[in-house]
Amino acid sequence: MAAAWRRLPRLTCRSGFERLRDERLSDRNRPILVTCGAGGQASLGTYLLKQMGFQDVAYIDGGTAAWKDAGFDVE
């Protein structure tokens, strides 16, 4: 199992994430809402986007599960 982990690519700095960024997000003042199933990954994503210079970034506390529990629609 440990050998498999060595083959996975690692992004160890912000520049690694920069190359994965969608061109439509070149405006770093554009509002971005991040979500995931329970909120933990969205929190991390929000932190990374802010580190990359995005100004208006937020996440849904509790993720999509909390969104659904609050009665909001999910497509």
Yes or no: say if 46 and 58 are a contact pair by the CB < 8 Å rule. yes
Cα–Cα distance between 35 and 59 in angstroms, integer? 6
pTM comes to 0.63
pLDDT of 15 = 57
Number of domains the chain is built from: 1
pLDDT of 66 = 93
Tell me which residue of 45, 43, 49 sits closest to 66, measured CA to CA.
Answer: 43
Is residue 8 situated within a structural domain?
no
Is residue 4 situated within a structural domain?
no
Yes or no: say if 42 and 35 are a contact pair by the CB < 8 Å rule. yes
Tell me the residue range of the domain where 44 lies: 15-69
Mean pLDDT, each 10-residue run in order, the chain (75 residues) = 48 59 80 89 91 91 92 88
Is residue 75 situated within a structural domain?
no
Is residue 40 situated within a structural domain?
yes
Is residue 43 situated within a structural domain?
yes
Position 57: which residue type?
V
Is residue 9 situated within a structural domain?
no
pLDDT of 17 = 63
